[in-house]
Structure 1
Amino acid sequence: MSLHLSIIAPAAFALSVGSPLTSAGAQQAPCAMHAFASADMTPEDAFGSSVALQGGRALIAARGDDDAGESSGAAYAFAWTPDGWIQEAKLLPDDLDFEDRFGTSLALDGDTAIVTSLRDDDAGSKSGGAYVFDRAGGAWTQTAKLVPADLQAGDEFGTKVELDGTTAVIGAWHSDAMGADSGAAYVYQRAVDGSWVEVAKLVAPDGGPGDLFGWGLDIQGSTIAVSAVTSDANGSDSGAVYLFEEGPTGWEFRQKLAPASTVAGDRFGGDLALDDDTLLVGAHGKFASRGAAYAFRRDEGGLWHEVGQLFAADGHPGDNFGLGLDVEQGRAVIGAEYSDFAGSNSGSAYVFELSPSGWVETSHFAAPDLGPGDQLGYWVDMDANHVVVGSRTSDLFMFEGGAAYLFGLDGCSLYGAPGWIELSSGGQQTLGIDFGADRAGLVYLVLGSASGTAPGIAVGGVLLPLAPDAYLSFTATNPGSALLQSSLGFLDADGDATATFQLPAGSDPVLAGLTVHHAALAIDPSLAAIVDVTNAYRAELLP
């Protein structure tokens, strides 16, 4: 397609005179991009009971699915394509049985997924288990089953699972390691041959009966955080979180967190999330279950310090704010599954941004078709500027069949998959543009930056969320290049278009670790004016 230069001129001119801003401006309210549902949903499947999102893929559990008997469970893999989200596979373990609750928790990292069965019985009734699935050639296949060597009946291994590269951590909240139901967490490492090896069993050094250590957990790099949600550190069921670091001799206890402001019933540790030197911990029982979240920061010596508390400005007792949460790059999404946003116990979620003065609530959102009893916000998972939120008792598709919603935190108009490109093998990221039908027929121009999204540039009355640099200038003056294909064109009847960011095999390895962002402008040629802009979407460049 060729376009007259007069159409490109408004964008090029605006970019040449646009001025960087001192701040990114007002935040856009999150908006619903997609409602996930399984192709074979039946009533009471509880689809959305656990969720994961990464790089244009989503993994969503339906622990009430009954393919192998009542509440045997299932997990569904979805992939984003230029034509939208498609269901790739239904994941079922080879030994699934009645009441296994497969899908209690799940984790996704690249082409590997781990899904737990809280009540699998290989080591006795309700001992638990975890299954590894790998994706190759577009197909998902079970490749391993994880069962700790010392697992006992009733341990319920699989309370929570998290995966970071080749390391997984899995909770067993009813383990009796330090007394009845004191809890434990197991660390697995993937070997070079692809097998999984149990390398550590973590317990609270001061744990006791009924602590439920392993209720919540997360891993990032050499750090693991595990909660004991009913620990009595500051009163009955006040809760605590334990930090472990990987050292020369293995995983070692580092620090216990039990803020002085926690009291009986707070359940500090109902959920938690790590992001570099930030730790966010929910306390859904605080203030008569209105709920709260605590933010911690790691200092240069490796110790964690409380730096703030997060509350819902319009919260009410019983909301359970903080039971589902995630944090990434200075932004947090926190669910409140019993919020009455759209009727009794409909649920909702909140966005917080880290500012120079601390964490600030920027929006309160829910699905547009939410109804009473849907419990949106029980499970939350973020990826870049998107979040998927589970609604396990939603009646949207059928009675308590459940649903999961994808929200764009900066608006809904740009999404890409996958979220990374490997420099050695090359690859591409497909960018889907959606300005809406009211922009049909307008010109779009995709631009990029290798320097981030802040402070942004004021262009033609809109804020382009890209930092000025050489790549931005290149994409503005070389539309349709081999690097950024189909970056200039006309929006279709739905206001949609597709562009492709592509790198050849053997690209310069010095680029590894770089994050490239893209955003699109909508240009009205009849007005010679820029009339709209998308959010920015990132691509991680890997070795």
Structure 2
Amino acid sequence: MPRISQLPTLCGIPFFATLAAVALLPGSACSGNQLLKLTSPDAQADQLFGVSVAIDNGTALIGAYGDSQNGPFVGAAHLFNTATGAPVAKLTPADGQFFDNFGEAVALADGYALISSVGSDANGSLSGAAYLYDASSGAQLGKLLPADGAADDRFGRSVAVGEGVALVGAVGDDSGAGSAYLFDLSPLAQRTKLLPTDGTAGKEFGTAVAVGGGRAVVGAVGDNAFAGAAYVFDLTTGVQLAKLVPTDATAGSFFGGAVAIEGSLALVGAWKNDANGVDSGAAYLFDLDTGSQLAKLTPADGLAGNNFGRSVALEQGVAIIGSPGSGSVARGAAYLFDTTTLAQLAKLTPSIAAADNGFGSTVGLDGGFAIIGAPGDNQNGAFAGATYLFSTAPTIGGDFNGDRKVDNGDLNLLLGSWGSSTVPAAWINGFVAPVDNGELNLLLGDWGFGVSTAVPEPTAALLLMTLITLSQLVGNHSPR
């Protein structure tokens, strides 16, 4: 039999030993690959680049409220192309002032970028503001201010955008009772002010906000001695639909410090929960249709001080949960979970990370990518910050035709392009010249991803036959 210069592998295991698994388990567990590390194009110490992050439709939005290019802590936010890692635009407010902290919170959806400026004094000291931008052109579209804004409101502590609206939290409103404001985007105007039916001073309603599926979720970490709560509202009417609290609510858990929505699911972080030790953290999954708790999520390796749940996001049946205190000397991590099976899918960590870099302080998900902020990263100076892009699924490799499925279509491209030293026109992902066993490894390792049913035995057999047929060709190329 002809010699194979490099035996193809599946998740690092020889392919022949795992062929049966390919037939039984569509989609490998080889997700969570670090793709890019993004840093500010004009990085300086104390910028805190990555203190807020968002991702949508091939664009990343990254806040850096410590940016002092236009004066101390005026702040900035940056748009990046997630495919190339290239910076697209630097956003700053037209009327930015010292210590505005522009970029403390960001949101991105439907072509809009929403960026808060919590330190703005537009309605008095620390009253706050938010700015709306065109995410394609970077043009400022408007400035959002509450109709009843006042000093110390901290309007902009949290922001969300989508479904034609913007939602902005104001945790300091009314002696810290807090509020959230709903704005129509076109024309830009305040629609209503959201308040919980049981609002009290110190509740900090508006700590975190999310919109989706015709609903809004608003976190309130100060509820019930900082056990915390999250409130669900109808986006159209502004009527409160439910109050979410965990079944094991305990004082000081900070439940509601991070929230996310996808469809009928809500994910709520409780980063000071003591599930695995003091401040180890937890996150809770809820059914928004019933208001019932579905699960409490904790990492397999959770420890005291991990702060798991400090940030959360949901997309396409996957949850990502930030844990900035995880690892040796708090290097940070983020965890992926399947929202149906509740299985932990992966633990994401940066390839190189210093202590206390804050990795996992902020997270986002979109289109098979995860964005994770590390505002304490010191590559470009203390607290200059960085942001990382990961794949949440193995389509980056074996999905050569870019249809989010690794199947016979990709196999046909591989066979038709074998040995080519130029990028074949039909290829979207995975190509490194020449087409050889490197691409074959990607295909086999990712086989079945994106297919809802198990790969049938004939297909697995076809792969084996293909491997044997290609063995001579593989032997003619040096391993990569």
Change (3 A) 1:175 1:20: same
Query: Per-residue displacement from partner, 1:454-513 (whole Å, max 9, x unpaired)?
Result: xxxxxxxxxx3x5xxxxx66x877x6xxxxxx99647888xx957569xxxxxxxxxxxx
The residue type paired with residue 50 of structure 2 is G
Indicate which of 446, 449, 453 corresponds to 2:401.
Answer: 446
Q: Which amino acid aligns with 2:161?
A: L
Unaligned regions of 5+ residues in structure 1, if any? Answer: 1-17, 415-433, 436-443, 454-463, 467-471, 480-485, 502-517, 539-543
2:299 counterpart of 1:297:
no
1:374 and 1:53 mapped to 2: Cα distance?
A: 21
- Per the alignment, residue 39 of structure 2 pairs with 37
Out of 202, 208, 211, the residue aligned to residue 210 of structure 1 is: 202
User: Residue 348 of structure 1 aligns with which residue?
Assistant: 333
What corresponds to 1:231 in structure 2? Answer: 223
Give the residue type in structure 2 aligned to 1:309. Answer: K
Letter in 2 for 1:93: P
Superposed CA RMSD: 3.0
* Alignment match, 1:244: 233
Structure 1's 226 and 532: CA in aligned 2 closer, same or farther, altered over 3 A?
same
Q: 1:520 to 1:403 in 2, by over 3 A?
A: closer
Amino acid at match of 1:104: E
The 3 A distance-change label for structure 1 pair 525 and 116 is: closer
Distance 2:153 2:415 in 1: 54
> Is residue 524–residue 531 contact of structure 1 (8 Å, CA) maintained in 2?
no
Instruction: Note if 1:120 corresponds to 2:30.
Output: no
Structure 2 CA distance, aligned partners of 1:54 and 1:537?
A: 22
Unpaired runs of 5+ in structure 2? 1-19, 451-480
Residues 397-431 of structure 1, C-alpha deviations (whole Å, 9 max, x = no match): 322210000011224x62xxxxxxxxxxxxxxxxx
For 1:483-522, list aligned pairs within 5 A.
Answer: 489=417, 497=423
Equivalent residue number for residue 65 of structure 2: 63
Alpha carbons 2:247, 2:293 under 8 Å: kept:
no
Q: Does 1:199 align with 2:191?
A: yes
Change (3 A) 1:525 1:373: closer
CA distance in 2, matches of 1:526, 1:119: 55
Equivalent position SS for 2:320: strand
Residue 224 (structure 1) shift: 0.4
Corresponding position of 1:406: 389
Task: Map 1:60-209 to 2 at 5 A.
Answer: 60-80=62-82, 84-135=84-135, 139-176=137-174, 180-191=175-186, 195-209=187-201
- Supply the distance in 2 between the matched residues of 1:55 and 1:266 (Cα, whole angstroms): 34
Per the alignment, do residues 151 and 109 of structure 1 end up closer, same or farther by CA in structure 2, a change over 3 Å counting? same
Q: SS at 2:138's partner residue?
A: strand
Distance 1:289 1:407 in 2: 26
Post-superposition shift, 1:20?
8.9
| Letter matched to residue 351 of structure 1 | L
Q: Is the 8 A contact 2:357 2:378 kept in 1?
A: yes
CA distance in 1, matches of 2:44, 2:393: 33
Answering whether residue 306 of structure 2 is matched by residue 311 of structure 1, we say: no
Deviations 1:330-364 (A, max 9, x none): 2111111111x2x3121111111234xx4111222
Correspondence for 1:482: none
Separation in 1, partners of 2:208, 2:391? 26
Find the partner of 1:336 among 306, 311, 323: 323
Partner Cα separation in structure 2 for residue 88 and residue 102 of structure 1: 18
Rate the CA distance shift 1:448–1:131 in 2: closer, same or farther, 3 A.
closer
Contact 2:417 2:424 in 1 (8 A): no
Instruction: Name the amino acid aligned to 2:98.
Output: F
Deviation at 1:38, TM superposition (A): 1.1
Residue-by-residue CA offset, 1:73-121 (whole Å, 9 max, x unaligned): 100111145xx22111110001111110000101111322110000101
Structure 1 residues 46 and 188: alpha-carbon distance in aligned structure 2, compared to 1, 3 A threshold: same
Mapped partners of 1:526, 1:61: distance in 2:
41
What displacement does 1:385 show?
Answer: 1.5
Q: Deviations over 1:161-194 (max 9, x none)?
A: 1111421111000001xxx100000001122xxx
Q: Is the 2:123–2:151 Cα contact (8 Å) retained in structure 1?
A: yes
Distance 1:43 1:305, change over 3 A: same
- Partner deviation per Cα, 1:32-52 (whole Å, 9 max, x = no partner): 100001111111110000011
| Bigger relative contact order (CA 8 A; separation at least 6) | 2
Match of 1:285 in 2: 272
CA distance in 2, matches of 1:289, 1:19: 38
Deviations 1:502-531 (A, max 9, x none): xxxxxxxxxxxxxxxx8769999888x944
Query: Does the CA-based 8 Å contact 2:217-2:232 persist in structure 1?
Result: yes
- Whether contact under 8 Å (2:420, 2:434) holds in the other structure is no
> Structure 1 residues 314 and 200, CA, compared in 2 at 3 Å: closer, same or farther?
same
Q: Specify the alignment match of 1:393 in structure 2.
A: 376
Q: Distance in 2 between matches of 1:526 and 1:95?
A: 55
Give, in whole Å, the separation in 2 of the partners of 1:158 and 1:210: 17
Is the alpha carbon distance of 1:523 and 1:92 closer, same or farther for their aligned partners in structure 2, counting shifts above 3 Å? closer
Structure number with the higher strand fraction is 1
Is the 2:108–2:161 Cα contact (8 Å) retained in structure 1?
A: yes
Aligned counterparts, 1:345-494, within 5 A: 345-355=330-340, 358-411=341-394, 414=396, 446=401, 448=403, 453=405, 464=406, 466=407, 489=417
- Distance 1:40-1:522 versus aligned 2 partners, 3 A rule: closer
Change (3 A) 1:492 1:40: farther
* Ranges of 4+ aligned residues in structure 1 off by more than 4 Å: 18-22, 486-493, 496-501, 518-527, 534-538
Mark the CA change 1:321 to 1:492 in structure 2 (over 3 Å): closer, same or farther.
farther
What's the secondary structure of 1:344's corresponding residue?
helix
Q: Aligned pair in 2 of structure 1 residues 70, 284: CA closer, same or farther (>3 Å)?
A: same
Indicate conservation of the 8 Å contact 1:390/1:403, yes or no: yes
Paired residues, number: 426
1:23 Cα shift?
A: 3.4
Query: Equivalent residue of 1:532, what SS?
Result: helix
Contact 1:38 1:76 in 2 (8 A): yes
C-alpha distance in structure 2 between counterparts of 1:151 and 1:134, whole Å: 25
TM-score normalised according to structure 2 size: 0.81
